[in-house]
């Protein structure tokens, strides 16, 4: 299960505190040391951990907390609040264009779950807002990607615009946008190309597609299981594309949690959704406070 190791270690660190009626500064320091190790072992970014520990210590070390009623409980609350803040305070909804269509460009490394997430989001909008999305198949390098998107489209009854793999993605997107206007689609999903690694050719293509499509939302899809690599990927994509949000996939797997806990703080961009399974309905809004509570167990 996701966060299992982290949850156990945080609980251990905090339960040591709970056993004491009175908490001394030395107790607090020891607890924070354990929490620091737990977060680093969960693959949370080093600087993010440093800031977190400093923030909790600053808030908890005051006489009001340590000499107050139930200091352990107060420290647990502070840890919970700071974990929430690390992940972004509150949920951030999908951007919406004042006029149709709202254009959502999906980017990410191959295998992260871009195509799947495009389908999940299209279905969600269809179910919740009666939306009429169009999906554009612009990942021409992974041969199966277009077929995969077409199959998904059939499954959720959403049209897919494609021109095969021989046309360049810029042209596909140009014509796809014209198709969206013709169909009066209110959402357009662009399933952009992914690669196994970030490279310059990919980034330039994505920059060009962004220029053509003028997306309202650039969602970076990252695999939560890849830990610090997910964070580096996010920094790379954000640096070139100025992404507007992140979708963290595979949170149903046994991720240690580092990506979920670091991406927001490192990139400044909100996690908007989490993927929690392979089914088309396995997509949830990301609520930092609920995630913090889940992590604390």
Contact yes or no for 272/285 (Cβ under 8 A): yes
Smallest distance, Å, CB 250 to ligand GDP? 4
Nearest-approach distance from CB 161 to ligand GDP, in angstroms: 17
Shortest reach from residue 89's CB to ligand GDP, in Å:
24
Residue nearest to ligand GDP according to CB distances in the complex: 275
Does the annotation list 108 as a binding residue?
A: yes
- Residue 109 annotated in ligand binding: yes
Q: Which CB atom, from 5 or from 277, has the smaller least distance to ligand GDP?
A: 277
Closest distance to ligand GDP from the beta carbon of 80 (Å): 25
What one-character-per-residue DSSP string does 228-254 give?
HHHHHHHHHHHHHH---EEEEE-TTS-
The answer to whether 114 is a known ligand-binding residue is yes
Question: In angstroms, what is the minimal distance from the CB of 224 to ligand GDP?
Answer: 8
- Beta bridge partners, 65, equal none
Q: Would you call 80 exposed, middle or buried from its count of C-beta atoms within 10 A (0-12, 13-18, 19+)? A: middle
Q: Is 251 annotated as a binding residue?
A: yes
Distance from C-alpha of 46 to C-alpha of 81, rounded to nearest angstrom: 19
Q: Is 113 annotated as a binding residue?
A: yes
Judged by CB, which is closer to ligand GDP: 31, or 115?
115
User: Is 249 known as a binding-site position?
Assistant: yes
Contact 169, 198 (CB under 8 A): no
Query: With respect to ligand GDP, which residue has the nearer C-beta, 208 or 284?
Result: 284
Nearest distance in Å: CB 280, ligand GDP? 10
DSSP three-state, residue 92: coil
268 is in an annotated binding site: no
Q: Which residue has the tokens 């979920």?
A: 260
Nearer Cβ to ligand GDP, position 32 or 248?
Answer: 248
> Is 115 marked within a binding site?
yes
Report the b/e string of 4-14 with b at 16+ CB within 10 A.
Answer: eebbebbeebb
Rounded Cα distance, 132 and 182, in Å: 12
* Cβ closest to ligand GDP, residue 17 vs residue 112: 112
Q: Which chain residues interact with ligand GDP by CB under 6 A?
A: 108, 110-116, 148, 194, 221, 249-250, 252-253, 275-278, 282
Q: Helices (H) and strands (E) in the chain — how many of each?
A: 12, 8
Cis peptide leading into residue 159 (ω within 30°)? no
Closer Cβ to ligand GDP, 159 or 253, answer by number: 253
CB-CB neighbours of 233 under 10 Å:
23
- Work out how close the CB of 272 gets to ligand GDP at its nearest, in angstroms, rounded to a whole number: 14
Using the minimum distance from each CB to ligand GDP, give the nearer residue, 28 or 222: 222
Q: Residue 128 belongs to what H/E stretch?
A: helix 114-129
**Binding-site residue set for GTP:** 108-115, 249-252
**Binding-site residue set:** 108-115, 249-252
């Amino acid at each position: 299960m996701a966060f299992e190791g982290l949850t156990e270690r945080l609980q251990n660190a905090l339960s040591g505190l709970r056993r004491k009626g009175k908490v001394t500064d030395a107790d607090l320091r020891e607890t924070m040391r354990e929490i620091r190790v737990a977060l680093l072992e969960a693959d949370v970014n080093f600087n993010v951990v440093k800031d977190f520990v400093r923030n909790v210590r600053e808030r908890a070390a005051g006489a009001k907390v340590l000499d107050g009623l139930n200091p352990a409980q107060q420290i647990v609350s502070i840890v919970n609040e700071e974990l929430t803040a690390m992940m972004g305070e509150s949920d951030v909804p999908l951007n919406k264009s004042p006029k149709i269509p709202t254009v959502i460009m999906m980017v990410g490394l191959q295998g992260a779950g871009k195509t799947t997430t495009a389908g999940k989001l299209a279905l969600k909008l269809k179910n919740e807002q009666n939306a009429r999305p169009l999906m554009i198949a612009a990942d021409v390098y992974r041969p199966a990607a277009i077929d995969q998107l077409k199959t998904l489209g059939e499954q959720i009854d959403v049209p897919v615009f494609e021109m095969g793999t021989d046309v360049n993605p810029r042209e596909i997107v140009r014509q796809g946008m014209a198709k969206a206007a013709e169909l009066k689609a209110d959402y357009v999903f662009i399933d952009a190309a992914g690669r196994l690694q970030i490279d310059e050719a990919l980034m330039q293509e994505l920059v060009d597609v962004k220029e053509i499509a003028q997306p309202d939302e650039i969602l970076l899809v990252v695999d939560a299981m890849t830990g610090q690599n997910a964070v580096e990927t996010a920094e790379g994509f954000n640096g070139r594309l100025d992404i507007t949000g992140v979708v963290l996939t595979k949170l149903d797997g046994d991720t240690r949690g580092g990506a979920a806990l670091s991406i927001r703080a490192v990139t400044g961009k909100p996690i908007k959704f989490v993927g929690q399974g392979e089914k088309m309905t396995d997509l949830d809004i990301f609520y930092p406070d609920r995630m913090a509570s889940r992590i604390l167990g």
